[in-house]
Amino acid sequence: MNEEKFDRRTALKRTLKTGMAIGAATSLSPWAMPALAQGEELVTFTDMPENYRRGPAMPGATHFLDTREISSFYTDNEDFYVVQHYGQPVLDLDNYKLTVTGLVDNEKEYSLSDLLARSQVQIDAGFECGGNRPDGLFQGLIGNANWRGVKLKDILQECGIKPEGKEVVFFGGDLGTETIRETEVEQSFARSLPLEDAMRDENLLALEMNGEPLPQFHGKPLRLLIPGFYGVANVKWLTQIHIQDRRYMGRFMGRDYVTLKKESIGDQERWVENSVTRIHLKSSIIRVTRTGNQHKISGFVLNDGTDLRSVEVKIDNGPWQEAQIDPQSSKYSWKLFSLNWNNASAGEHTLISRVTDINGNVQLTREQMPEKISRWENYGQFPRTVMIEA
Ligand SMILES: Nc1nc2c(c(=O)[nH]1)N[C@H]1C(S)=C(S)[C@@H](COP(=O)(O)O)O[C@H]1N2
Ligand SMILES: [Mo]
């Protein structure tokens, strides 16, 4: 994408925010302020608890977005959700090294200045946690940002992958104690990719997020970014890349972030386990606003980067109506959409969205979702209810 365009937009957004902060009325909830245009009001979701608030972003804690707040293409670094399983390690930047080991012609190490001196690329990418869900969170484990860094492919090629190298493992600098067969072992957070997926041109070793050095919460100083994959793929505080000839079976590939669901295998129905990888086709309504008598329904789409055909919204038992997709959207970004809702009548209404990709795949309804035992990969249609005031 165009670097200049991004910087200008960021600057503009910052000006708007500062301008608003000056006139901010303290009686309004903090999230309501920056999200709304002049004269625009939020319409109440009746499916949300009245006192629903996301927690503040706290060091070391998990943090999610109030999705009613989403009103801009890029999520501020402080608002972008935060998830990690072993706490947030503080890496010593002066002695920081990214090492590349295993089945390579040349094992290498890269200091932070080595990485910063290389040519950088940027990409817009949005993702959600594999555990994101409607219930309780209202899809808040989500964000969209501009990422800048070094292409993963360039580093792998520079080290030279040996023909036996099949799997690329990414280790974070965070350590946790896992009990495996009644034995306590210390393990780093780690994820892996088959070599073919690791070599995708869009994969990034990200040093910057929205024009700033990667914040501590989001993996300072370096994180992996695999566009189109659930958040768990994007290893934060990245310290080592290891190439091996077999699958990596660590907790976050083999035991956790593993979905168990019913699938047809040939002519047999079987329970199948899979690691959480590519983002399933998903849309969700996140806010409804009113300006005078005009209402607007907004939402987001996330998927694995496959082109879309349409996003549609249904009001009560009406027809599916095609929504407008934000023209800033790109292959791996989230796609915000909106639909003008004319002549909304007073009372409670049910709203639902569905997205269809270019191959004709339609987002599944809750009833069509496969029978699934796990809290991962919640991509079914999400009906919302709102109250329109007389
Ligand atoms: N090193 C490390 N990286 C990690 C994790 C972790 O626990 N440790 N959690 C993963 C998960 S499950 C998610 S959803 C994303 C969240 O990224 P964010 O906090 O920047 O939004 O980070 C991923 N990367
Ligand atoms: Mo996650």
Q: How far apart are CA 227 and CA 13, in angstroms?
A: 24
Residues with CB under 5 A from ligand 2 (ion): 83, 129, 231-232
Residue to substitute in 79, 234, 240 for testing ligand 1 pocket (most ligand atoms within 8 angstroms of CB): 234
The mean pLDDT of 27-55, rounded to a whole number, is 73
Indicate whether 65 pLDDT > 70. yes
| Cβ–ligand 1 contact at 231 (below 6 Å) | yes
What pLDDT does residue 361 have? 98
Q: How far apart are CA 164 and CA 195, in angstroms?
A: 10
Top-level CATH class of 64-260?
A: alpha beta
Planar angle of CA 160, 166, 168, nearest 5 degrees: 75
Count of CB atoms situated within 10 Å of the CB of 272? 13
146-196 residue pLDDT tens: 999 999 999 999 999 999 999 999 999 999 999 989 999 999 999 999 999
- Phi, psi angles (nearest 5°) of residue 371: -65, 125
Look at ligand 1, atom 12, and give the residue with the nearest C-alpha: 232
The mean pLDDT of 31-42, rounded to a whole number, is 69
CA of 174 to the centre of ligand 2 (A): 15
Mean pLDDT estimate for the chain:
90
CA of 276 to the centre of ligand 2 (A): 9
What pLDDT does residue 13 have? 43
Planar angle of CA 208, 141, 340, nearest 5 degrees: 100
220-239 residue pLDDT tens: 999 999 999 999 999 999 99
CA of residue 287 relative to chain centroid, distance: 18
Atom of ligand 1 nearest to the CA of 84: 7
Question: Which pTM value belongs to this model?
Answer: 0.91
The mean pLDDT of 120-146, rounded to a whole number, is 97
The domain limits of the chain are 64-260
CA of 193 to the centre of ligand 2 (A): 16
What pLDDT does residue 35 have? 60
* Inter-residue contact 229 to 29 (CB < 8 Å): no
Sort strands 384-388 and 347-357 into parallel, antiparallel or unpaired.
Answer: antiparallel
CA of 84 to the centre of ligand 1 (A): 5
| Cβ–ligand 1 contact at 210 (below 6 Å) | no
Cβ neighbours of residue 47 closer than 8 Å, sequence gap 6 or more = 384, 385
DSSP string, 105-162: SS-EEEEHHHHHHS--EEEEEEEE-TT--STTTTT-SEEEEEEEEEEHHHHHHHH-B-
Atom of ligand 1 nearest to the CA of 80: 21
Look at ligand 1, atom 2, and give the residue with the nearest C-alpha: 236
| Cβ–ligand 1 contact at 233 (below 6 Å) | no
Cβ neighbours of residue 29 closer than 8 Å, sequence gap 6 or more = 53
CA of 317 to the centre of ligand 1 (A): 40
Indicate whether 254 pLDDT > 50. yes
Indicate whether 366 pLDDT > 60. yes
